[in-house]
Structure 1
Amino acid sequence: MTRSEDFIVIDVLVIGGGNAALCAALMAREAGASVLMLEASPKEWRGGNSQHTRNLRCMHDAPQDVLVEAYPEEEYWQDLLKVTGGETSEHLARLVIRASSNCRDWMRRHGVRFQPPLSGALHVARTNAFFMGGGKALVNAYYRSAQTLGVRVRYETPVAGIVLDGDRFVGARTESGELITARACVLAAGGFESNREWLREAWGRNDRGEWPADNFLIRGTRFNQGVLLKDMMRAGADMIGDPSQGHCVAIDARAPLYDGGICTRIDCVSLGVVVNRDGERFYDEGEDFWPKRYAIWGRLVAQQPGQIGYSIIDRKVIGRFMPPVFPGITANSLPELATRLGVPVEVFMRTLDSYNAACRPGTFNHTILDDCRTEGVVPAKTHWALPIDTPPFYGYALRPGITFTYLSLKVDDTAAVRFGNKPSSNLFVAGEMMAGNVLGKGYTAGVGMSIGTAFGRIAGTRAAAAALGRPA
């Protein structure tokens, strides 16, 4: 039975409620299609992970409204190539990059506001446009616009599976057993980052006998269980990506299990040192600017004993990074700090003494890749290497915080779901469910919103064309 509410027949069904889903719904409605969105969460938690975002990475060849200087296509591509280690589709990545240069006017028409460039510790005024009010404001603006345009939204309606006729979409079966049919469909229901059992399966047991995934915190929504991703896998859809890869950030170990969001991120890592629970450093904290490297630190911490690390700084760098929501553990001496953190004092002091002795004089400047570095210590610290010697000292316990997973449905530039390398004529995908085509590993700030916006708009346009029998 089809529940159509105000529609005799639904043209486009959009499954999901975040940025990509909303972009798809708005584009489909603007193209003249009737649209129904199914959001698994209650209304107050709508928006998926998008409610926790802050910005969009944007290509621009000259200063543009809230963006300073220039961030050309080739530099954007090289930044993405570096963080992914080449595990990306250049064709789709460049599609996203180019789309990021011309989407903001459309976003503004749907109520999204951008804030002027801010000085501070993120150093991304050149590359990223920040949403006024953050991701929650963006999501709310899109929902208001959708309501005005006549898009219908049903909350608390999780979908259990997709009904197909070969490679064609027929309908969606809700968890309550209802079948909702439509002429075309966009899947934008997120990854599987909130599914603990799937995370355990993906990460397995390490050589210490631990299940690393058991210590992961989920930065975003609890509703991204990967149900439709798994359903599409069972249906034989083409897949891409490593299930253990994802946007995984080092966050405050005191963060809640779900929905801690951006304020739980620890942004002082590049300005100090990070030790594991044994008191040993394990990676170059000053490898590159924090917005280009913050997303590797969750995975690095996940590989440490007990999946925990400790970011250590002193008074000299206070005020040079975005403060987290929880204050750090403080002490007037390094041995006292080690004791308060529960780290072996002797090893901790040997690590800090070796690091301090290895710091070479330079001109410290946290806004550039400066010449403050270490010599003769492993791992090296390439930039911003200052001795940690000025009390009070601060320590922040770190845990891996999963934002979203990269196992994805394989697509081309039409956003169509593919079966045996054949694109479906009426089933499309956007957002986290296909982001692994561009992000095989790694991350750089704002690119997830770029992917979701680009492919949400493509998927919505294509779905409307398929539903209405028009050329795409």
Structure 2
Amino acid sequence: MTQTSNNYDVIVIGGGNAALCAAITAAEQGAQVLILEGAPKPYRGGNSRHTRNFRCMHNAPMAVLTDSYDEQEYFDDLLKVTGGKTDKKLARLAIRSTEECYRWMEQRGVRFQPSLSGTLSLSRTNAFFMGGGKSLVNAYYRHAEKLGIEVRYEAQVSHLQLNGDRVDWIEFEQQGRTQRLSPKSLVVASGGFQADTDWLAQAWGPAAKNFLIRGTPYNRGVVLKNLLDQGAESVGDPTQCHAVAIDGRAPKFDGGIVTRLDCVPFSVVVNNQAERFYDEGEDVWPKRYAIWGRLVAAQPDQVGHVIIDAKSINLFMPSVFPPIQADSIEELADKLGIPADGLRITIDQFNGACRNGDFHPTELDGLATEGINPAKTNWARPIDTPPYYGYSLRTGVTFTYLGLKVDETAQVQTPTGPIKNLWAAGETMAGSILGQGYLAGFGMTIGTVFGRIAGQEAANYASH
């Protein structure tokens, strides 16, 4: 055991967006700050490396954002995807803070660009990072260095020692040594437990072993479990998570956003029995893409298949992997490994249910099927123009929603009251706001808003 220097005011556990926002905010208040990032330096940044946008409220056109997107519309969108399972006070706090956060981010080196075209349809609601999430992470680390924030990589935190209503010390391992520190205050921003597939399987059952993990393999929930075991109050359901349908050829870990498939609204989606199982055109993709991971998880072998034709191949951002191509439906079925006769029947039934109407790929067009179940309620065009294309689908988990319960100051709670010198931000407390479902760009909203709040509160505590 090595007892290292204890002259830190604030220690931030984690190295992604929320952690960096907390560390920067605390340092700008004059605090001496240490970041403990569990990943090696080339993989720093957690899931934030794979993000690309930030959902932002604005009452008029602003910078790269068009038109307006006011608090109530933003809140209504959140209620729709969560089914009302959210802490409304914390949700509104996050939403109201986003406009000011945009300016704060720019002032610390983050650069934005207009939204991408196609199925995303986010020009009003989401500001895209120029260079993606990796660029944002690097900008924050450059700013942190200017502020004198110390960063230790491959620093795996294993224990926070709770003593009544405060944390006395923490332990972490680095370069084979176990070290102990006793800072004045701490911020936990080390993500969920999705990379621990055994823990996922405890919640989901054996099916979870077939899930792919879109993000960092370092978010294993060690700090989260350590605090919950010591009496920190939990929030959220362990079976709820940000899970999307991704290309089935993606790696087990760290495939990132390039493995996501945006073609579902223009497709027919079937399972291994070549049967449709949900409305592919229920809503615009940014409001519905995050339900498809759970839908695929409920299918045999946790696999689905997207079927599109030549009319739709250029309407969406492609996966990093090319689609499987064939000149007939039967040939495509053979290549996908699903029953050819069954897929032909499904496609013929779907095509027969399509009706004439105007097709508008970037908005709800009401072009719906008639007489089949499940219906397709928008963008329903026959799959009849060769060549035909297919993608396999697997459940890709981004982050889990079981987390630490916090209040509006981001302070971690216990059943008997708050932990006086402990705050949480980002995915490790996102279940306070996301009871289920997901809204594109909202994870970055939670991390940015509550990271800044946690950093401010931790610095204030340390200074007094």
Q: Name the amino acid aligned to 2:12.
A: V
- Structure 1 segment 291-302 matched on structure 2, within 5 A: 291-302=286-297
**Cα distance, 1:421 vs. partner?**
4.5
Equivalent of 2:273 in 274, 278, 282: 278
Structure 2, unpaired ranges of 5+ = none
3-state SS of paired residue (1:360): coil
Q: Name the amino acid aligned to 1:284.
A: D
Q: Which residue of 2 aligns with 1:120?
A: 118
1:364 aligns with 2:359: yes
CA distance in 2 between partners of 1:267 and 1:451 (Å): 24
- Structure 1 segment 338-377 matched on structure 2, within 5 A: 338-377=333-372
Number of aligned residue pairs: 460
Q: Name the amino acid aligned to 2:400.
A: T
CA distance in 1 between partners of 2:40 and 2:420 (Å): 31
1:152 aligns with 2:150: yes
CA contact (8 A) 1:238 1:421 kept: no
CA contact (8 A) 2:115 2:126 kept: no
1:289 aligns with 2:284: yes
3-state SS of paired residue (2:31): coil
Q: Which residue of 2 aligns with 1:172?
A: 170
| 1:255-306 Cα distance to aligned partner (Å, 9 max, x none) | 0111111110011001011000000000000000011111000110000000
Q: Which residue of 2 aligns with 1:461?
A: 456
**Cα distance, 1:346 vs. partner?**
1.7
Q: Which residue of 1 aligns with 2:236?
A: 241
Q: Which residue of 1 aligns with 2:388?
A: 393
**Cα distance, 1:307 vs. partner?**
0.3
TM-score by length of 1: 0.96
Q: Name the amino acid aligned to 1:29.
A: A
**Cα distance, 1:120 vs. partner?**
3.0
Structure 1, unpaired ranges of 5+ = 205-210
Q: Which residue of 1 aligns with 2:141?
A: 143
Q: Name the amino acid aligned to 1:199.
A: L
Q: Which residue of 2 aligns with 1:18?
A: 16
Equivalent of 2:443 in 443, 448, 459: 448
Further displaced range: 12-21 or 334-343: 334-343
3-state SS of paired residue (2:119): coil
Q: Which residue of 1 aligns with 2:324?
A: 329
Q: Name the amino acid aligned to 1:16.
A: G
Q: Which residue of 1 aligns with 2:37?
A: 39
CA distance in 1 between partners of 2:118 and 2:393 (Å): 23
- Structure 1 segment 395-410 matched on structure 2, within 5 A: 395-410=390-405
CA distance in 2 between partners of 1:460 and 1:371 (Å): 46
3-state SS of paired residue (2:11): strand
Q: Which residue of 2 aligns with 1:213?
A: 208
**Cα distance, 1:117 vs. partner?**
3.8
3-state SS of paired residue (1:121): helix
Q: Which residue of 2 aligns with 1:91?
A: 89
| 1:374-428 Cα distance to aligned partner (Å, 9 max, x none) | 0100000000000000000000000000000000111110111111141121100
**Cα distance, 1:467 vs. partner?**
0.5
Moved over 4 A (4+): none
CA contact (8 A) 1:56 1:130 kept: yes
Q: Name the amino acid aligned to 2:113.
A: Q
**Cα distance, 1:9 vs. partner?**
1.2
CA distance in 2 between partners of 1:107 and 1:369 (Å): 33
Q: Name the amino acid aligned to 1:185.
A: L
**Cα distance, 1:25 vs. partner?**
0.1
Q: Which residue of 2 aligns with 1:74?
A: 72
CA distance in 2 between partners of 1:154 and 1:412 (Å): 29
Q: How large is the Cα RMSD of the aligned pairs? A: 0.9
1:384 aligns with 2:379: yes
**Cα distance, 1:237 vs. partner?**
0.6
CA distance in 1 between partners of 2:170 and 2:54 (Å): 31
CA distance in 1 between partners of 2:334 and 2:117 (Å): 36
CA distance in 2 between partners of 1:179 and 1:452 (Å): 27
**Cα distance, 1:119 vs. partner?**
3.1
Q: Percent identity?
A: 60
1:310 aligns with 2:326: no
- Structure 1 segment 124-135 matched on structure 2, within 5 A: 124-135=122-133
CA contact (8 A) 1:57 1:446 kept: yes
TM-score by length of 2: 0.98
3-state SS of paired residue (1:351): helix
| 1:195-227 Cα distance to aligned partner (Å, 9 max, x none) | 0100010102xxxxxx11111111000000000
Q: Which residue of 2 aligns with 1:29?
A: 27
Q: Name the amino acid aligned to 1:141.
A: A
CA distance in 2 between partners of 1:227 and 1:352 (Å): 47
Q: Which residue of 2 aligns with 1:207?
A: none
Q: Which residue of 1 aligns with 2:197?
A: 196
